[in-house]
Structure 1
């Protein structure tokens, strides 16, 4: 049975720490990681948590404690991972249209590095030659993911070196004596079809002989998690079997054993997260009832950014009859969290919970309208601990510089 927090637990936490509030359940994160391990027991697979989903250092420390590695999208994330206790060899940094100086910083920290442009690969070769192993992020020209905004592998994507430029990568490898250890692809987020990962392996299959020092095939992440009731996520067990068969074929054809890397982010933390808000006002407009809450797109931008669905429940009146609501925020923009959503009767001051709030919730939060970012709480061993306090006005002013008159 999946690890979940009950309405009563969430109400107690909201009463103790106030709202809006992000709550994360450590045991659910562990459960998701163990699912991955079990699905890939028959393959040489390593997992790197895509910490862009949620970088709170207490969460990173927990993920480190259960044996997972860390995948980073910026050198700042790299430094947070190291501060959380990951060793450099447990940290992967995948660059994306960044200044070469950031790659130099990552190298100085001793972490694994993936490069996503011919320009930076050339600079890397000029400076490091064969002295530092490197990975290449390729764009496989595969359309996948929940929608275009979270699809990263198609032929119009900014990510990676186009697969048709592989010949230029090989040429640079020879010219600069590069030690290319990893071939990396990432096709998108919310990928349910395991065949997408198989197609990615097939794209790389023919390239393997051209990279004599290749040790790792990195298939990125993007596993789908269920958001709406009745929705299904990626069949991880089936994916494990598919990857096993594909890599056995590679070993048989080339007589080479390669390690497989995955970068799950949302899969590990999404279902472990809860976002609790309180209802400020009810407003009737014709047939529409607006439930206005004490939050907005400044705290949870996903529904407005790419139309994502979050299941919402009224945890303080859960057994009441269902009514139809538009659940909206308090920001000076149209920030609809849900439209025409059936929810147990909502009263002013009721507490609502948004499920699947662990990934890209707080991480994308802002101080828009000069409102405070919410607090974060980690529940572990049935103990609730504050892991980030709520903003104050002093926090908003802290980095501002007022010139002298």
Structure 2
């Protein structure tokens, strides 16, 4: 669903005008639709009805407590990559038995915290991590439930920075080494083998790499079970893409169909870890034009949001649609939409044909994923407010920071 629609000449989210949100809460401001979040999760859960399956939202995409709580209320699990994300998920009402812990660099303290809480599974990504986890679990007098994240060497056909399933990527255990490492895991006294995990990348728009990875993982499952090691679940990760510009993102049904067909006769619980697909198109970044600066070569629209608020354009050269909140008539010019940060990479969009005046409100679309979660205080800029819209109601789910807070933990030398 698209919760952002024009009504009476104004862009609304559900039943609330974005102009009203800007007036009440200021800009820059992230705005999310509860209905869109729920609809995105429902799309996965409908396809999995009647199956032993769990959708684990990838917290890194958007870790706001209100977002996590919306998903927890509807039975979702969570995929975390740090001890901080684990604490966030628990604070938002997560069931620890629905949490999987991914990531290549888990510390001993993070492992101990997850063992104390009693999570569903650790997705182990190296032999060294496996040995450390066995040691930490032994100190706790526990057995750590694990799956090995296997790197199938499959090209996800996505941006190289968000590809994770090739041999040159840092993620996972080499496919050829997986069976031996499973044998090692099965013989460790404080490890309990639970499943197998695979994740090949993010913003996947073609289902064929997913199907190829699945085929390779199932071949491995057969080898592991032939070695006498029982697996209880298979985790195929996430990565299903969304529409930013003119992409044709596959439907959830299309994406999952080869998985469900291939697993039809196997008694394996299914785990999925979508992130961007659940939150990306459920949010926008609301920003106001501060100055217009026409030039001979380029026209610059300087807005109050910047690369510290939304890093994706500077980091990945990512494209986000940018639309006026109150579209008007007049002459359109091609504008560089840039922020006030002192970097030439501080842009939100290049060459956007818009009719603009100083003071206009703009909505940077599809900003619900990897927006606020990747924001920073560069240039000592307070991070934006976050607002959740639920029908006709607005809730501030993160207040805007103030400058004094940014250096409150610092001190000068005596």
Q: 1:285 to 1:95 in 2, by over 3 A?
A: same
2:325: which partner in 1? 315
- Alpha-carbon offset, residue 171 of structure 1: 3.1
Deviates more, 1:168-177 or 1:393-402: 168-177
2:158: which partner in 1? 146
Q: Is the 8 A contact 2:323 2:363 kept in 1?
A: yes
2:364: which partner in 1? 354
What's the secondary structure of 2:281's corresponding residue? coil
Task: Provide the rounded CA distance (Å) in 1 between the counterparts of 2:412 and 2:329.
Answer: 53
Structure 1 stretches of 4+ with a deviation exceeding 6 A read none
Task: Provide the rounded CA distance (Å) in 1 between the counterparts of 2:112 and 2:406.
Answer: 32
Q: Is the 8 A contact 1:192 1:235 kept in 2?
A: no
Select the residue among 108, 124, 132 that pairs with 1:115. Answer: 124
Task: Provide the rounded CA distance (Å) in 1 between the counterparts of 2:49 and 2:270.
Answer: 12
- Alpha-carbon offset, residue 127 of structure 1: 4.9
Select the residue among 234, 253, 257 that pairs with 1:241. Answer: 257
- Alpha-carbon offset, residue 318 of structure 1: 4.2
Task: Provide the rounded CA distance (Å) in 1 between the counterparts of 2:254 and 2:106.
Answer: 36
Alignment of 1:204-243 (within 5 A): 204-209=217-222, 210-211=224-225, 212-228=229-245, 230-243=246-259
- Alpha-carbon offset, residue 91 of structure 1: 1.4
Select the residue among 266, 273, 276 that pairs with 1:266. Answer: 276
2:3: which partner in 1? 3
What's the secondary structure of 1:278's corresponding residue? strand
- Alpha-carbon offset, residue 319 of structure 1: 4.7
Give 5+ residue unaligned stretches, structure 1.
none
2:197: which partner in 1? 184
Q: Is the 8 A contact 2:134 2:144 kept in 1?
A: no
Alignment of 1:2-401 (within 5 A): 2-4=2-4, 6=6, 7-8=11-12, 9-41=17-49, 43-111=51-119, 112-128=121-137, 131-177=143-189, 178-209=191-222, 210-211=224-225, 212-228=229-245, 230-248=246-264, 251=265, 256-334=266-344, 335-343=346-354, 345-401=355-411
Task: Provide the rounded CA distance (Å) in 1 between the counterparts of 2:261 and 2:385.
Answer: 45
Q: How many pairs align? A: 396
Q: 1:324 to 1:48 in 2, by over 3 A?
A: same
User: Deviations along 1:282-327, whole A, 9 cap, x unmatched?
Assistant: 1122142111101211100100100111000011334545331111
Deviates more, 1:162-171 or 1:219-228: 162-171
Q: Is the 8 A contact 2:108 2:136 kept in 1?
A: no
Give the TM-score normalised by structure 1: 0.93
Task: Provide the rounded CA distance (Å) in 2 between the counterparts of 1:358 and 1:206.
Answer: 36
Task: Provide the rounded CA distance (Å) in 1 between the counterparts of 2:83 and 2:5.
Answer: 34
Instruction: Supply the RMSD in Å over aligned alpha carbons.
Output: 1.8
Task: Provide the rounded CA distance (Å) in 2 between the counterparts of 1:182 and 1:5.
Answer: 43
Q: Is the 8 A contact 1:185 1:218 kept in 2?
A: yes
- Alpha-carbon offset, residue 339 of structure 1: 1.2
- Alpha-carbon offset, residue 123 of structure 1: 2.6
Q: 1:378 to 1:185 in 2, by over 3 A?
A: same
Q: 1:236 to 1:62 in 2, by over 3 A?
A: same
What's the secondary structure of 2:376's corresponding residue? coil
Q: Is the 8 A contact 1:145 1:190 kept in 2?
A: no
Give 5+ residue unaligned stretches, structure 2.
none
Q: Is the 8 A contact 1:4 1:28 kept in 2?
A: no
Task: Provide the rounded CA distance (Å) in 2 between the counterparts of 1:42 and 1:50.
Answer: 23
User: Deviations along 1:196-239, whole A, 9 cap, x unmatched?
Assistant: 221121111122242433111101110010001x4221221112
Q: Is the 8 A contact 1:48 1:92 kept in 2?
A: yes
What's the secondary structure of 1:271's corresponding residue? helix
